[in-house]
Amino acid sequence: MTKAKDIQSKLTSLGDSQTAQFSQRFFKTGAGEYGEGDLFRGIRVPVLKRIAKDHKELSLVETLKLLHSPYHEDRLVALLILTHQFIRGDNATRKAIYQSYLRNTRYINSWDLVDSSAPQIVGGFLYDKDRKVLSKLAASRHLWERRIAIMATFHFIRRGENRDTLKLASILLPDTEDLVHKAVGWMLREVGKRNLKSAEDFLREHYRRMPRTMLRYAIERFPERKRQRYLEGKA
């Protein structure tokens, strides 16, 4: 039976120091930055996806051991495995993965880790259930839990629902973190692709107090003249 340590040995052998240095800069691992202290082996994402696919039957216990690794790539592989297993799992498997995910959010601590897993696992589990937990996550003091909350709604948006996205966007308007602003703006843009009226109704009510980054992401696909009216406060 494959163990987490077996996968980590494979990842160690694939590491590249130059790629690791680039990743440390890209993911802002310096003092005071959002990824402070994160460690990288230096492995490209397509390679990590192949490894996750090759080990898609890894047990939940071993996958969580991999998620607890100090190395970013190990955690991403773990989340890709969990996502694969969730999508193909039965109700019991999905519940176990969802519960484990929420118990381990401290290890889901970068935007790529959140974005590659929260829509499928959190959004996927909550789609036909009570979604109050999303408001709790949106009120968390932890940046990544707040991003998990808004990114989970991508699952709903893709199925024609935007109520929870707009509700959480309202909650997160005062957020001080740029990585939350980007995620909220992105999800508002996705709402607009499918239901422009809902997105514009929200924007007209809130755009004057939206963080600039959030607004720019939300209106990125608007015609230039309309986009400028929002940016100039004349919409």
At 181 the pLDDT is 98
Longest dimension (CA), the chain: 62
Q: What pLDDT is stored for residue 41 in this prediction?
A: 98
pLDDT band at 142 (very low <50, low <70, confident <90, very high): very high
CATH architecture of structural domain 1-108: Alpha Horseshoe (1.25)
Q: How confident is the model at residue 163 (pLDDT cuts 50, 70, 90)?
A: very high
Q: Where in the chain is the domain with CATH 1.25.10.90?
A: 1-108, 117-235
Percentage with pLDDT > 70 across the chain: 100
For residue range 50-102, list pLDDT tens digits in order: 999 999 999 999 999 999 999 999 999 999 999 999 999 999 999 999 999 99
d(CA 107, CA 102): 10
- In degrees, rounded to 5, the angle at the alpha carbon of residue 96 between the alpha carbons of residues 149 and 77 is 70
Task: Record the tokens describing residue 180, joined without a space.
Answer: 């939350």
Task: Give this prediction's pTM.
Answer: 0.96
- The per-residue pLDDT for range 21-52, each reduced to its tens digit, is 999 999 999 999 999 999 999 999 999 999 99
- Chain mean pLDDT for the chain: 97
What pLDDT was estimated at residue 57? 96
d(CA 56, CA 81): 5
- Looking at CATH, the fold of the domain delimited by 117-235 is given as Leucine-rich Repeat Variant (1.25.10)
The predicted structure's pLDDT at residue 172: 98
DSSP, residue by residue, 40-68: -----HHHHHHHHHHTTT--HHHHHHHHT
* pLDDT given at position 235: 85
Calpha distance 89→28 (Å, rounded): 35
Q: What is the pLDDT of residues 120-134, one digit of tens each?
A: 999 999 999 999 999
- Does the pLDDT of residue 1 top 90, yes or no? no
DSSP state of 107: G
Are residues 109 and 144 in contact, defined by beta-carbon separation less than 8 angstroms? yes
